Structure 1
Amino acid sequence: MSSVTLPPGPKLPAVIQTLMWVVAPVKFGKACLRRYGPLFTARIVGFGDVVYISTPDGIRRILRDDAGDFDAAAANESIRFVVGEHSLLMSGGAEHTERRKVLMRPLHGNNVATYVEVMRSIVEQEIRQWTVGSTVRLLNVFQRVTLEVMIRAVFGITDSSRLDRLRQLVPRLLDVNPLIILLPAMRRQFGGFGPWAAFQRLLRETDEIIYAEIRERRAELAVNPDGRGNDVLSILLAKGQDRAGVTDQELRDHMVTLLAVGQETTATQLAWFFERVMRAPGALKQVEAAVFSEDWKVLDAAIHEAIRARPTTLDIGRIASREWKAEGYVFPEGTMFAVSLGLLHLSEDLHPQPENYSIDRFHPVEPPSAHFMPFGGGSHRCLGASLAMIEMRTIISTILRNVRLRPRSATPEGVTPKGPMLVPRRGAEVVIAENHMMAGRE
């Protein structure tokens, strides 16, 4: 690799670059973008030389046109121990296509729409606890809400003891110590102590609950094949009855993948939505009007602008599986790419004054699809996109129909890393100005 000419990048030692990448990834990425352009090389401990690419043409080629030249599963190897070998994230080619088909039906828009009432009731339960004048950290609220949606609507779990235990386990499970992701050498027991041993205990207990649920659901389906629910797990189990080879391990890996990539991302994006909307002149009134008139195009535009302005993660990993040429460079097989959708969305050339939140960027005319890719692209585009959008619409509209909020501070919240997520530094703090559900309860 040392004899290969890669795009320019910081000359700092890998340890320093890694620290900057972990502590302030947005600042690090934007500084490199300004100095080196949309194609630069960083050195990250655990990954080596990583080529960042944020040009529309380069991203389109890697994710779609030349997707066969890149290995997505190999780029996700560092999280295999979380999601499992049967995860959609750990597959490519025909295997990926087959696994994607398995998950397509329960995550299709029509089926996801049946979860709206569950979502709404979960949000309303939270709202009833908000007292006028109190301060609420929306990030904490949305983490609880999206987890509840996941374990009730997606997993379909109704057993109260399992629900209570998962509410405790999942947040700890998803808060993975970055050391065991970046440094495989840290994945050792050390006599039952340390981050790896602690993570393994959490994972075992979580898996025990998931496997118990799968076994019980299989038994119920065997007795009453027509009695399944419309949650994702039930649909996958029913589908598996006529598909040879479906195993409990496959089902577990699908469920954990949905949990790992969906719950925390949606919660964080919702927190950023309110943090941004409430600090943009007129935006909150525009969104409130859209909610009450059920103008979902305007609400979707507002959600998309929040995703653009404050990405929850910056990059998608890909590894070149053969030699690839771009921008005058010849990249050898094995080159690690960080496909930076976050930097694409923050580009001053593509999105003038990118720090300003403006719904007008997406309504009435949307930007070119190559300039905005909220859920990735190509055959690996996020399968949970429909679920995420319906969940965000439902949660936002339920809150704004019942509550009036104002930011606790006039100062915008900075970006801070929390594991792989980029979250509002103060957790999207708001003050409850009015609560009609509270008044109705009293």
Structure 2
Amino acid sequence: MTARPLGLAPSTPTGAALAERFLRIRRRTLELAARLSPEDTVVQSMPDASPTKWHLAHTTWFFEQFILGRDDAYRSPNPEWHFLFNSYYQSVGPMHARPQRGMLTRPTLDEVLSYRARIDDAIAGLIVRGGDDALPTLVELGVQHEQQHQELLLTDIKHAFAQNPLQPAYAPDGPRALPVAAPALRFIPFDEGVVSVGFEGDGFHFDNEGPRHRTYRQAGSIANRPVTNAEYRAFIDDGGYRTPTLWLSDGWATVQGEHWARPLYWDEALETEFTLQGRRAIDPHAPVTHISYFEADAFARWAGARLPTEVEWETMAAGLPVRGNLQDSGVFQPRASSFETELGQVYGDCWEWTMSPYVSYPGFRPLDGALGEYNGKFMNGQWILRGGSCATPADHVRATYRNFFPPHARWQFSGLRLGNDR
């Protein structure tokens, strides 16, 4: 195998530096889980979410399966766990049904933590000893996969805690957002023409971020910041959830069937929202989050605008540094922000829905083997989000990163930024 099957550049750390990165990110997952009781780690609040214990085990299984398992002489000490903690890799074997992950009271949390420690030692030792050219690439993919599950761990436990009448706080002692007024909303124009999008250069990228290619961008504009809670409240007060002409057909059916009338986690009075720090007053200046693609699209239509395309988002964000209210801040909640750049809050706070369906770029080829199931097979019925959220690690996102979810999903920190044709 070559050293770059996943788009990893030759500048990727190797040896001791890669082992340190691997162990640091693995420890970070344990730090996030350490706030939880053993009972907390088992609960599964809906089929789309997974228990914390399952996240801890599945990310470990990933390293065991795709790195240690490459050695024909390797024998797993718990081969029966392969069935429990495989997620969706059909080519490597069957798996436990996703909606029933909360039934897995065994293995215990202590056994899963011991499993993590054993695999961590094995992977770190393998990195230091050195392997074939593919090893750094596979370790980095596993690390990036781990960071995706760090975000899922936070959003999944938030959903679980919100179902509890006691509404426990995940991080009651977390730093509070300072009161800041959102800058006035304005639109930044861009010209029409041929542009290039997709990843190029050094560093890791997922296969769905490439290949870099040229495409045509119509002239238009994009908002300088995400839509705020106050602006979304105006949509609600104006009957947005009661006006069928604002909604896509499937969106209106979902609103009716699910009885949606506000973002997930807002109370009926539209005064408070459930957060990872407990129930808090809604900050009118903070970006609205926990809305679906259907809601984002309806709001944009109500506002006389539209959602941006992912090409518009990426070309306007290109070159901006990755900084903002990301997981590293420890706030775990979107917050209002002042900014010096023309385009603000590009990274962090909330993932931003775009109007672009999740499809392949021209020339895309999935990876060979089981890892080809990582991204490519989900290019159906999902929509692209950009930018990262308050639960996303800062060193995990970039302008070309393509997140994707089905249009009804709203338990993620998902919001929107407006686009326009003028």
TM-score (norm 1): 0.23
From the two aligned structures, give the one with the greater helix fraction.
1
Query: Relative contact order, CA 8 A, sep 6+: which one is greater?
Result: 1
